[in-house]
Structure 1
Amino acid sequence: MLRILLVDDENDALEALEWKLNKYIENVEVTTCNSPLKAISIIDETKPDVVFLDIQMPEMDGFSMIEKLNNRDFNLIFTTAHDEFALKAIKVSAIDYLLKPVDKDELLAAMEKVKKPKKGDFLESKLQLLLNNLNDNNDKINISADGKVYILERDDVVMLKSDKSYTTIYLKSEQQILVSKTLKEVEKKFLFSEFYRVHNSYLINLNHVKEYLKGLGGELIMTNGLTASISRNRKIELFKKLYLD
């Protein structure tokens, strides 16, 4: 049984989508909610498999709602009547969406995608990328550490290095910020095009790469003089990003 939650402040839209899901999709259990605040609690408590989320709601928009979620382990499909800017951000983030009123064939196609693995960290990264894309003109990154919140310019960050459950952020000013989170957790703040995970232990700013040292995996010399190892399985993609032969 596929558990589905519909979140929309318009009851007519909820009823129409609920009807189509029950009529055209087999083995579904559909729950509806017209309050994004209540939906947050429902998602955390019931852990649905799929969430259809309206973007424009008076109480809280869909993007604000996903920022507040503790549980993001579900398939997400946005629904919207219009919002060209938001749709562009959603497309770039590769998250599915449906235009209202929801077309039967488009609904069936979206539900087919749900059958593919799309949960956990993969969705988490897409959601964070979406939030970054929505505010892509903002070059600042907020990092909490040492009882403070650091407001960092993207270009000021040279690289990040993992040390088990800690991450060190190296700035071009030679300042270091030690964050008591894993690199996997901190990486969610750096889902911008100039940042690339070259190794399990290193996330680098491509604009701060100074040299490439050949080897089994290879190493990068950064503008601050520090080195970053390269995983063999990341090498081809890295070469494309750095325009190396």
Structure 2
Amino acid sequence: MLKIVIVDDEMDALEALEWKLNRYIGDVSIIKCDKAKDAILQINTTKPDLVFLDIEMPEMDGFTLLERLDYREFQLIFNTAYSDFALKAIKVSAIDYLLKPVDKDELIEAVNKVKKLQKVDKDHLIEDKLQSFLFNLNKQNEKINISADGKVYLLEKNDVVMLKSDKSYTTIYVNNGPNILVSKTLKEVEKKFSFSQFFRVHNSYLINLSHVKEYLKGFGGELIMSNGMTASVSRNKKNELFKRLDLN
């Protein structure tokens, strides 16, 4: 039996997809979630084989939901009417999607692909695909979107100097702009910065290499950034940093 979680804030869409799965696929166990927070709990608890996920939801979008999951060993199909650039990124990342309203034949084909992938190793599960997707999504959309303070900030990647962790919070330091405090860990926020110019130099620091002004020698060393702030460098990141900055 295929264990499935469907996530969509529209109850009509949930029920329509549930009906089609029962009618055309069969031998399925389905949990419906119309709230993102409930979906996170259900996915982490029930460990489904397949998740159908809407992208645009009021509480949090589908991308944020994926980032907050502890359990990711499932196949993913976006069920969406999202913009073309996102669909292109999804396609390149080998994550499947179905456009609303869901076509019966496309649904059958997508689920059959999932059943085949259940027999292969975990390299085909969502963890690697998600990282690839977020990278490709950022390549399509040069602005980095950050949700904080009831707003969505659209940041130019070259304007971001560094990110600093403070337990479950992260501060984003922007050149010639206000700092942004995000109520997520640096590990969660880092996924938005999948560009070659950003480098995690320490557990507490993600820096923009183009804003490095000085390197201070030491056990791991410290970086002086363009805004005058310092960022510690972990010893195990030092060699890679030197390569990225072309230092001797």
TM range (shorter): 0.5 to 0.7
Asked if 1:107 corresponds to 2:121, the answer is no
* Partner of residue 90 from structure 2, selected from 78, 86, 92: 86
SS in structure 2 at match of 1:189: coil
The 2-side partners of 1:39 and 1:149 are apart by 18
Q: 1:3 to 1:66 in 2, by over 3 A?
A: farther
Task: Report the residue type matching 1:88 in the other structure.
Answer: V
User: Which amino acid in 1 is paired with 2:4?
Assistant: L
**1:1-245 correspondence runs (5 A):** 4-5=3-4, 9=17, 10-11=20-21, 14-15=25-26, 31-32=29-30, 37=34, 41=38, 44-45=41-42, 47-53=45-51, 60=54, 65=62, 67-68=64-65, 71-78=69-76, 85-90=89-94, 101-102=112-113, 106-109=117-120, 112-113=121-122, 123=127, 127=130, 130-131=133-134, 133-145=136-148, 148-173=151-176, 175-179=178-182, 181-245=184-248
TM-score by length of 1: 0.61
Equivalent pair of 2:92/2:133 in contact (CA under 8 Å): no
SS in 2 for 1:74: coil
Asked whether the 8 Å contact 1:144–1:179 carries over to 2, the reply is yes
Superposition RMSD in Å: 4.4
TM-score by length of 2: 0.60
Kindly indicate whether the alpha-carbon contact (under 8 Å) linking 2:51 and 2:76 is maintained by their aligned counterparts in 1: yes
- Equivalent residues of 2:162, 2:206 under 8 A apart: yes
2:89–2:133 CA contact under 8 A, matched in 1: no
Q: Percent identity?
A: 47
Q: Measured at CA, do residues 131 and 166 of structure 1 come closer, stay the same or move farther in structure 2, by a change above 3 Å?
A: closer
Q: Which runs of 5+ in 2 are unaligned?
A: 7-15, 79-86, 96-108
**Runs of 5+ unmatched residues, structure 1:** 19-29, 92-97
